Structure 1
Amino acid sequence: MSAFEFDRALVHKYDRPGPRYTSYPTAPQFNSAFALDDYHQAVRASHEVAAPKALSVYIHIPFCQSLCYYCGCHKIITRKTHRAVEYLAYLKREIQMQAALFERSRRLTQLHLGGGTPTYLDDAQLAELMACLAEHFTLDDSDAHEFSIEVDPRTISVERINTLRGLGFNRLSFGVQDFDPDVQAAVNRVQSEAQILQLVAAAREARFKSVSVDLIYGLPLQTVDSFDVTLSKLIALRPDRVAAYSYAHLPSQIRAQRMIRPEDMPPPARKLELLELTIRRLTEAGYVYIGMDHFALPDDELALARANGTLQRNFQGYSTHADCDLIGLGVSAIGKVGDSYSQSVKELSQYYARLDAGMLPVQRGYRLNPDDVLRREVINGLMCDGRVDFPQIEATHGVRFNDYFAEALLQLDEQVADGLLLIQADALQLLPKGQLMVRSVAMAFDAYLGGAHKGQFSRTV
């Protein structure tokens, strides 16, 4: 990717609803016509290639002890911790059923626990989960594996940090969102700064390979001055990676967000100021802009992958790992095997019922056609490299790029005129002003945008 430049007028102009492109086609295209038989067929086909891919596993832990008002994730709010016992029992059954479909020679190189709150599970339950994975999959025991877990600082202690490291996790992601007490109270996520400092220090001492901190800009009661203080505290922490997410306020779709007082929401102009401030402070502090809302220190694997052209994108965001077949485990989890996507049922009762019937809980999905595969490669090139090389696409897919994407290239005339990108004879290249608007550029190559699905996406900035 080229250098980065923030142009507030252009950012405002191209701030429109659009996909995040953690997949293409995106989730609104998933449908129930893709059934369990289709998933089994995709798994069988994944073994028939010359070199079957390594495996990645995502495990969804849906439980949270309290409701964060901003959150749009699939979650179950409960303090009845015994519910995790039942869920873990079913999760272990699903692990066994899924693992039986894949050859043991395919190493599990990437693992991510998300939620909900993965640390809702206690130490013994997490150990039980990891032991089950080790029993049924071939875990990569080299230093190259990436086993990560999302951590709610309110649910964890220094001792638990050490336990997680002992269980094999080597990456932690702390959900901080904002250090300001008033903002925390407004979104019902109160956590002390001292606690976060202590946990990050413990993670470093335990020799975690990477420590990431998540922030959210655009939350209620945030001001430029207050968020500047949060950024100063974050920079002093010096995490390896930072994710600064744009808050998507969609109370008509997300019930929890109706708890936020409308008068506390920052105006759109302030949100752009917060974004500009975040980018300036982090880059001045030495962080490398990776793409979308991600930053990393120059010696972090993400920054190195960005520099050498090996950056990947998946449902967890950006990754350094080569393209894996992703197995989604748990309620609502999404998987990607070969040229297909699959998603499990979203209701816990249905999840249990499917497994009780001896069936995997796949509810819907999508099988990519050749056009989807081609467009996915173009969009991934933009999202990860900021560049698409026409000869490479043409050689792989047997098309003439300018002819095949004539309509898409016409749609980009305005972005070209605004200096967001350069269309050359043999390549499309994002320019410094276009880095932040990559989603808007990628949308030109999306065959499914428009109609009923267009309003389902967050804004692109």
Structure 2
Amino acid sequence: MSLDILALVIEMTRFLNPVLLGKHDRPAPDYGIFPSLVRFPAKLTADDYRLAAHGSNEDPIPKPLTAHVHVPARLGHEVNGAARYLSYLKHEIALQGSLFDVDRCIEQLVLTGNGAGCLGDDQLAGLMTELRRHFGLKRSRDRDFSLRTGPNRLSPQRLADLIALGFNRFNIDIRDAGAAAIERLVEIQAASRHAYLHPPTLELALRLPGRTPAGFSALLERLVCLRPERITLSRDVGHCTADWPRGSGGSVPGDLGGTPERSETLALLVQGIERLVAEGYVHTGMGRLVLSSDTLVAAQRRGWSQRCLEGYHLHGDSDCIGFGVGAISHVADGYYQNGRKLPDYYARLDAGELAICRGYELNADDRVRRDVIQRLMGSGDVPYTAIEKRHRIVFRNYFAPELLVLQEMAGDGLVDIRRDRIALTPPGRLLPNRLAMVFDGAFSESKPRYLQMV
């Protein structure tokens, strides 16, 4: 183990202090967007969104597009629920497509929601056909078209079929790493490399029922041998739980025992980070680890990586279109959310309207705070001069109260407050949202709808 890696592991181990964790790991937004959803009023309408879309088309160099397509899990409980939902989704795609110039290409496509990975190939093909009909989809290899699924729904043949549809990134929820699962992952990785794709990201749920330190250690050892490029340690149970393969004893997650407590989940998180860092992985924040050769590492060091609703990406300078129930769009300085319940979503589309029910337009103060928060959540580095030049402020004066609050966190080793910048330490990357929350002027701890890392 190199001295740099050893020093990093030692620094991470410092953060195991339960008193220190209890002090700082409090509910906070995950800052996939800023401001958080609780600040969205109902006054912004679909007409405001149309104006924003038209204005973005008129930019001298219009931004590329990102598309988030949300497919909820509960559709499977209704007769023809998925088919009905997809028909409305296609209608919404057509309505949205009429608002944006055809030369604005979708560079990033993310299928979100617990039901996305359970769609059949014919359903996915229909969805992609509709997107191509109304939008330009980027064809070059640097596009990011991703799908999250369970390991038993992804084989080399299905991988080839999904690649033909345009997908080139895959996230796989991993529950265990028995012989059959490892064999399947080896096949998928080999097929990915043969197709010149990025190997799939493996997502490990920490709070899975029956998860123990010994079992988790064994799982990590098996996965480390595969050298996946990206591994995410998630506090939540995976997104395709109903589709996960049964264990060797025929058990599903709910049969395996109690869910780890908060302190146990922390121990699993640090155990995973320490083990993977020792193998040459870099912790980029919020439990995501990547090999040092990954493009995300270089992007983070250069300040290009940004936090989004679905994790981290390199397409920060884009307008985001959200499709589906509850989906969020971000165009220019406005955020817009679709109806959050299926009846409302369907009713708006039946009326020939966009599904948007509420939104929020950023003011000057929001833009300053968003810039700081995005840098903390992305690169973990906030140079004062960059913020000052962009927003015409004096950083230390504008954020004097926030810098005082950060002093205590700096004393606990989570952040370095330097003469010219703020920089997260490796332990601070465990809780970047908690530090970013200091700069969220509208945050209220009385509203508990936020994320704790553990």
User: When the two structures are superposed, what TM-score results if normalisation uses the length of structure 2?
Assistant: 0.88
Cα deviation, residue 197, structure 1: 4.6
CA offset at residue 76 of structure 1?
Answer: 3.4
Deviation at 1:79, TM superposition (A): 7.5
Structure 1 contact 111–148 (Cα < 8 Å) conserved: yes
- SS of the equivalent of 1:149 reads strand
Residue 412 of structure 1: SS of its match in structure 2?
A: helix
Instruction: Find the residue that maps to 2:304 and give its secondary structure.
Output: coil
The answer on whether the counterparts of 2:336 and 2:358 sit within 8 Å (CA) in structure 1 is: yes
- Please give the alpha-carbon distance, in whole angstroms, between the structure 1 residues aligned to 2:176 and 2:31: 26
Give the match for residue 158 of structure 1: 156
2:77 is the alignment partner of 1:78 = yes
What SS does the aligned partner of 2:453 have? Answer: coil
Contact 1:153–1:199, Cα closer than 8 Å, also in 2:
no
Amino acid at match of 2:367: V
How far off is 1:401 after superposition? Answer: 1.1
Query: How many angstroms does 1:130 deviate by?
Result: 1.1
Q: Is the 8 A contact 2:202 2:232 kept in 1?
A: yes
Q: Which amino acid aligns with 1:270?
A: E
1:229 corresponds to: 218
Confirm or deny: 8 A CA contact 1:117 1:151 kept in the other structure. no
Q: C-alpha separation between the residues in 1 aligned to 2:385 and 2:313? A: 25
CA 1:108–1:398 in 2, change beyond 3 Å: closer, same or farther? Answer: same
CA distance in 1, matches of 2:123, 2:186: 26
- Are 2:373 and 1:375 aligned? no
Distance 1:96 1:456 in 2: 33
Shift of 1:118: 2.0
Give the Cα–Cα distance (whole angstroms) in 2 for the partners of residues 131 and 263 of structure 1.
43
1:5-35 CA deviation, whole Å, 9 max, x = no partner?
Answer: 3121234432211111111111221232222
**Separation in 1, partners of 2:111, 2:427:** 35
**Match in the other structure for 1:255:** none
Q: Percent identity?
A: 38
Name the counterpart of 2:243: none
- Cα separation, partners in 2 of 1:451 and 1:304, compared to 1, 3 Å: closer
Matched, 1:399 2:386: no
Q: Name the counterpart of 1:291.
A: 285
| Residue 357 (structure 2) pairs with residue 363 (structure 1) | yes
Q: Out of 198, 202, 205, which is 1:213 matched to?
A: 202
How far apart in 2 are the matches of 1:267 and 1:25? 30
Distance 1:395 1:132, change over 3 A: same
Residues 433, 353 of structure 1: CA spacing in aligned structure 2 closer, same or farther, 3 A cutoff?
Answer: closer
Task: Give the CA deviation at 1:92.
Answer: 1.4
Q: What is the CA deviation profile of residues 236-269 of structure 1, one whole-angstrom value per residue up to 9, with x for unaligned ones?
A: 2322211111239xxxxxxxxxx96998132333
Deviates more, 1:206-215 or 1:261-270: 261-270
Which is worse superposed, 362-371 or 348-357? 348-357
C-alpha distance in 1 between matches for 2:409 and 2:349: 49
Residue identity opposite 1:352 in structure 2:
Y
- The amino acid of 1:343's aligned partner reads Q
Mark the CA change 1:406 to 1:450 in structure 2 (over 3 Å): closer, same or farther: same
| 1:360-379 per-position Cα deviation (integer Å, ceiling 9, x unaligned) | 11122211111111000001
Structure 1 residues 404 and 102, CA gap change in structure 2 (3 angstroms): same
> Which residue is equivalent to 2:133?
135
Relative to 1, partners in 2 of residues 1:422 and 1:158: Cα closer, same or farther, differing over 3 Å?
closer
Give the structure 2 partner of residue 430 of structure 1: 424
CA distance in 2, matches of 1:433, 1:151: 30
The answer as to whether partners of 2:216 and 2:268 remain within 8 angstroms in 1 is yes
- Counterpart Cα distance in 1 of 2:364 and 2:177: 47
Contact 2:306 2:375 in 1 (8 A): no
Contact 1:55–1:324 (Cα < 8 Å) also in 2: yes
State the shift of 1:85 in Å.
2.3
Shifted more, 275-284 versus 261-270: the winner is: 261-270
Q: CA deviation at 1:161?
A: 1.5
Kindly provide the amino acid, as one letter, of the partner of residue 395 in structure 1: K
8 Å contact from structure 2 (residues 269, 287) kept in 1: no
- In structure 2, give the amino acid aligned to 1:326: C
Change (3 A) 1:159 1:41: same
Query: Conserved in 2, the CA contact under 8 Å of 1:12 and 1:272?
Result: no
8 A Cα contact 1:117 1:150, kept in partner: no
Cα distance between partner residues in 1 of 2:424 and 2:205: 26
* 1:26 matched to 2:36: yes
The CA RMSD measured in Å over matched residues stands at 2.5
**Which residues in structure 2 correspond to 1:410-421 (within 5 Å)?**
410-421=404-415
2:299 — aligned with what? 305
| Contiguous gaps of at least 5 residues in structure 2 | 238-252
Distance (Å, rounded) in 1 between the aligned partners of 2:90 and 2:259:
42
Task: Supply the AA of the counterpart residue of 1:231.
Answer: L
In structure 2, what is the equivalent of residue 148 of structure 1?
146
Q: Secondary structure at the match of 1:242?
A: strand
CA positional deviation for 1:178 = 4.3
Aligned to 2:247: none
The within-5 A match list for 1:190-269 is 194-247=183-236, 264-269=258-263
Distance (Å, rounded) in 2 between the aligned partners of 1:180 and 1:450: 44
CA distance in 2, matches of 1:262, 1:171: 31
How far residue 143 of structure 1 moved from its aligned partner, in angstroms, is: 1.8
2:255 and 2:410 map into 1 onto residues whose CA distance is 40
Q: Deviations over 1:308-366 (max 9, x none)?
A: 33212211111122421000011121111111111111222322221111011112221
Structure 1 window deviating more from structure 2 (304-313 vs 274-283): it is 304-313
Does residue 175 (structure 1) correspond to residue 164 (structure 2)? The answer is no
Whether the 8 Å CA contact 2:381–2:421 is kept in 1: the answer is yes
- TM-score (norm. length: structure 1): 0.86
Give the letter aligned to residue 53 of structure 1.
K
8 Å CA contact 2:302–2:379 kept in 1: the answer is no
Aligned partner of residue 209 in structure 2, secondary structure: coil
State the aligned residue count. 429
Letter in 1 for 2:276: L
Task: For structure 1, list consecutive stretches of 5 or more residues without a partner in the other structure.
Answer: 64-74, 182-190, 249-258
Following superposition, the deviation at residue 154 of structure 1 comes to 3.8
CA contact (8 A) 1:39 1:342 kept: yes
Using the alignment, how far apart are the partners of 1:85 and 1:403 within structure 2? 55
- Counterpart position of 1:457: 450
Q: Is the 8 A contact 2:56 2:332 kept in 1?
A: yes
